[in-house]
Amino acid sequence: MSKDLDRVRDQWETLAKTDPFWAVLTETEYHDGQARKDFFDSGRTDVRMLLEVLDRHGKSYGDVAVDFGCGVGRLTYALAEHCKQVTGIDVSPSMIEQAQAGNPFPDRVAFVHNEAATLPFDDDSVDLVISVITLQHIRPALSLRYLLEMARITKPGGHLVFQLPSHVPATRPMPPSLSKAQLHVLEAPTSLEVGESGYVRVGVKNISQGEWLPGQLLNAGNHWRLHGAMVVQDDGREPVRCPLRPGESTEALIRIMAPGEPGSYELEVDLVQETVAWWAERDSPTVRVPVEVRAKAPAITAPVDEAPAPVVAKTTGDELEMNGVRKDLVYALFEQIGCTVLEATPDERAGGHWLSYVYAIEVGEYRIDINHGI
């Protein structure tokens, strides 16, 4: 297995053991397996949206489908409401275990753990492959391999429908006269353990004379200060919802992580136009709140025969990276191997400032035999 795959597997495995539903959809309501029904309903909505793309082109879904990067089965179960046989594939054994445990269609839906850069299916053996919020965390060289693999396993006339970010568009610096914000901390923890995650909710008001336009990579972010000195510059980031006209306000919920050493810190929130400047450098006022960072509580020891299940750290401290493959390259790749891109629909799942698309591909007769090299 490649180092890339090792890394991806280890990260997802940690997340799957910690908080699998939230690892799939990072909305706060899904923490610790809450709102299960809403979680799986969201899978139905997503699958309907993916299949609607094929409906628009008058294409059928076929009987045999694969969900690449299936997680706990959110989309896999939903896909089984449209296709006779569905297989969910995932690099994380714990995700697969969870998906299997809740499988409502055990006779028609299978879950397979796969740590290879190839997909465990014969050539031309499936009608449809879907994938959502998975390829975006895989490095492009590997994503391209998976895309070729998806085409290999799909019958001519079958389809791939997947979401994949393209890139973050270059930004023009906002003029300093627009970089004026009033920030309020609406909610923040007063105390956290070292390395523990939490949320800070911030009110953001445009107090400049001009409109903040969308697409300018404007984020609310936080630093950590100790005795006034900045000890962590880059921690959480959350996009500021734009457009925002002069005098208008919005809110941002920033996911923060306490520093690694205990102490009486200040959490400082500022706005940042990515790759351009923190607004404090432009004399826009920041806002600070005290947060006590505590040492980790000592583990409670129990007699061996009643030892609790091992506690897994709440976060890896190692954020999942975002990756994209340029839209032009996706088109060229599929055209090169005789497939047709039916459409690339703009999609917001990658969040932040990524341009991301849902691609619908019709697989053609001619494809390169990947197993014999390109």
Ligand X SMILES: C[S@@+](CC[C@H](N)C(=O)[O-])C[C@H]1O[C@@H](n2cnc3c(N)ncnc32)[C@H](O)[C@@H]1O
- Reduced to 3 states, what is the DSSP secondary structure of residue 29? helix
Q: Does 257 bind ligand X (CB under 6 A)?
A: no
Q: Which CB atom, from 76 or from 85, has the smaller least distance to ligand X?
A: 76
Question: Taking CB under 6 A as the rule, which mask of x and - marks residues 310-349 in contact with ligand X?
Answer: ----------------------------------------
When binding is defined by CB under 6 A, the residue of 21, 85, 90, 334 that contacts ligand X is: 90
In whole angstroms, the minimum distance from the beta carbon of 339 to ligand X comes to: 21
> β-pairing, 64-68 with 85-90?
parallel
| Torsion angle defined by CA atoms of residues 164, 167, 173 and 177, in that order, rounded to the nearest 10 degrees | 0
In whole angstroms, the minimum distance from the beta carbon of 108 to ligand X comes to: 19
In whole angstroms, the minimum distance from the beta carbon of 234 to ligand X comes to: 23
- Reduced to 3 states, what is the DSSP secondary structure of residue 292? strand
In whole angstroms, the minimum distance from the beta carbon of 319 to ligand X comes to: 13
- Per DSSP, the residues of 204-273 read EEE-SSSPBPSSS-EEEEEEEEETTEEEES---EEE--S-B-TT-EEEEEEEEE--SS-EEEEEEEEEEE
Q: Which CB atom, from 137 or from 327, has the smaller least distance to ligand X?
A: 137
In whole angstroms, the minimum distance from the beta carbon of 137 to ligand X comes to: 6
When binding is defined by CB under 6 A, the residue of 24, 79, 109, 188 that contacts ligand X is: 24
Yes or no: say if 34 and 57 are a contact pair by the CB < 8 Å rule.
Answer: no
- Give rounded-to-5 percent helix, strand, coil for the chain: 30, 30, 40
Q: Which CB atom, from 75 or from 80, has the smaller least distance to ligand X?
A: 75
When binding is defined by CB under 6 A, the residue of 47, 64, 133, 258 that contacts ligand X is: 133
Q: Report how far Cα 250 is from the mean position of its chain's Cα atoms.
A: 23
Yes or no: say if 205 and 242 are a contact pair by the CB < 8 Å rule.
Answer: no
In whole angstroms, the minimum distance from the beta carbon of 89 to ligand X comes to: 5
Q: In angstroms, rounded to a whole number, what is the distance separating the alpha carbons of residues 242 and 302?
A: 52
Considering only the stretches 68-76, 168-176, 214-222, 243-251, report the one whose residues sit in contact with ligand X under the rule CB under 6 A: 68-76
In whole angstroms, the minimum distance from the beta carbon of 68 to ligand X comes to: 6
Q: In angstroms, rounded to a whole number, what is the distance separating the alpha carbons of residues 270 and 200?
A: 12
Helix (H) or strand (E) run with residue 203 in it: strand 197-206
When binding is defined by CB under 6 A, the residue of 50, 64, 66, 70 that contacts ligand X is: 70
Interface ranges with ligand X (CB under 6 A): 5, 8, 12, 24, 69-71, 74-75, 89-92, 95, 114, 132-134, 137-138
